[in-house]
Chain A
Amino acid sequence: MCWSVPGRIVDIEEQKARVDISGVERDIALDLITDPKVGDYVLIHAGYAIQKVDEEQAKFTIEFFKGAQGNV
């Protein structure tokens, strides 16, 4: 439904960011997210960053699957 990939912001220029995905770099648009910073990991879909990746939650997911119960 929506092919997306996480990438690291390496440079920002107004509403544009240069992101790195395993050594591949491309310019993407930042219109859809708030105060991105260089070094942030963002989820990229069709040339736009659609969310910042949450470092804490990323670790949580691994523990979450290792057996910790969790409900929204």
Chain B
Amino acid sequence: MSKYVDEYRDVDTCLDLSSRIKEVSTRPLTIMEVCGGHTMAIRKNGIQKLVGDNIRLLSGPGCPVCVTSISDIDRVVCLAGEENVTVCTFGDMLYVPGSSMSLAGAKAEGADVRTVYSVHDALEFARSEPEKNFVFVSIGFETTTPTAAAAVLEAKATGVKNFTVLALNKTMPQALRAVLESDDSEIDALIGPGHVSTITGTGMYRFIVDELGVSCCVSGFEPVDLLGAILKLTEMHENNEKGLVNAYPRVVKEEGNEKAKYIMTEVFEPADVEWRGFGIVPSSGSKISEEYSEFDAEKIYKIEVPETKENPACICGDILRGVKRPVDCALFNEGCTPVDPQGACMVSSEGTCAAWFKYGE
């Protein structure tokens, strides 16, 4: 019995929530689940088939691999080719195709590329192999960024000199605004990312409700959590109410995790960065601050990134913004498959297209 998991997979509770959603829902409702993890959880459990015909679930830009720009992928691949550099990365990034190759391609050509479960493992590698230089490819949103920050602080405190971080981290609010404010957005409500909110707290979504008039319900990742969140959003939609609901209070507090936020802002600072499919989104990235520049791989390794190449028919950008669905893409399952991905939405196991390909509509 795994506590805090099994009780949120209880079949009777789920089927009860499903029938209540169908009962309450009388009008069309488009809900975007911002987080790639939610997309996977929904598709894996078939939740999109339990909410009735009025409700449409759209995947959002919440998959850190999908939104990583091709030039950033090329930057990592070039870095892997540098002499005496060992690149450590989460498994998610290994097979993402850059203009010329993926990290797995660079590894096959002889680069020392290691997949890690945690940035801390990269730090341990650096300690146990002092003669090598370790660069951790730091992707992820506000959930993951604090772990990289904590590792930098630990490296500084313990005098580890051969460990640096290439910061490709991103933050949520600005991208959400970009999605919701785009004129072709048909999104009525949001399922808020549960684990980003564990760090940031729920205050971050206040502007979405008050300014943009879009309801938001922060949810966990088990079927009961998701169906419960969809029920709440449906009830509000039917009653013409707008609201911010925290349906994941077992880990999400209104103020979030103050200590983690402090550590994150100590090591990282906001920066304008490129999102795949969005272009440059102002202050939506996290770069290493001046005070910790000795740990900033971007400053230490001057990497010239060649002109990037992307398949013109790829509409990952529109899919990430929720205005198109995988089946609308000419490449989907026609030259773009998990084994030979053209765009990031197919590559990342949490990408919208990968989820549709893997679990079906």
List B contacts of A22 (CB < 8 A).
Answer: 2, 5
The one of A28, A29, A45, A58 that contacts B144, using a Cβ cutoff of 8 Å? A45
- Complex: how many Å from CA A24 to CA B252? 25
Residue of A nearest to B146 (CB): A32
The one of A29, A50, A71, A72 that contacts B198, using a Cβ cutoff of 8 Å? A50
Residue of A nearest to B5 (CB): A6
- Complex: how many Å from CA A2 to CA B2? 19
Chain A residues 32 to 68 lying within 8 A of chain B, measured CB to CB, are 32-34, 41, 43, 45-48, 50-54, 57-58, 60-62, 64-66
Given known pairs A4-B143, A61-B228, A65-B231, the reply for A70 and B245 (CB within 8 Å) is: yes
Please report whether the interface of chain B is mostly helix, strand, loop or mixed according to DSSP: mixed
Instruction: Say whether B150 contacts A1, CB under 8 Å.
Output: no
B191 to chain A, nearest CB (A): 11
**Residue B30 interfacial (CB < 8 Å):** no
B189 to chain A, nearest CB (A): 14
User: Would you give the 0/1 interface string for B213-227, flagging 1 where the beta carbon is closer than 8 Å to chain A?
Assistant: 000000011001101
Chain B residues at the A interface, C-beta cutoff of 8 Å:
2-5, 7-8, 13, 16-17, 34-38, 62-64, 90, 117-121, 140-141, 143-144, 146-147, 150, 153-154, 193, 195-196, 198-199, 202, 220-221, 224-225, 227-228, 231, 243-254, 257, 259-260, 263, 350
A-B contact pairs, 17 of them (CB 8 A): A1-B63, A1-B64, A1-B140, A1-B141, A4-B195, A6-B3, A43-B251, A45-B143, A45-B195, A46-B90, A46-B117, A50-B198, A50-B260, A57-B249, A61-B224, A62-B224, A70-B247
Excluding A31-B154, A65-B231, 10 further A-B contacts by CB distance (< 8 Å) are A1-B64, A1-B196, A2-B196, A29-B118, A29-B120, A33-B259, A47-B118, A61-B8, A65-B247, A70-B245
The 8 closest A-B pairs by CB, nearest first: A47-B118, A2-B143, A2-B195, A65-B228, A1-B35, A57-B249, A31-B150, A58-B250
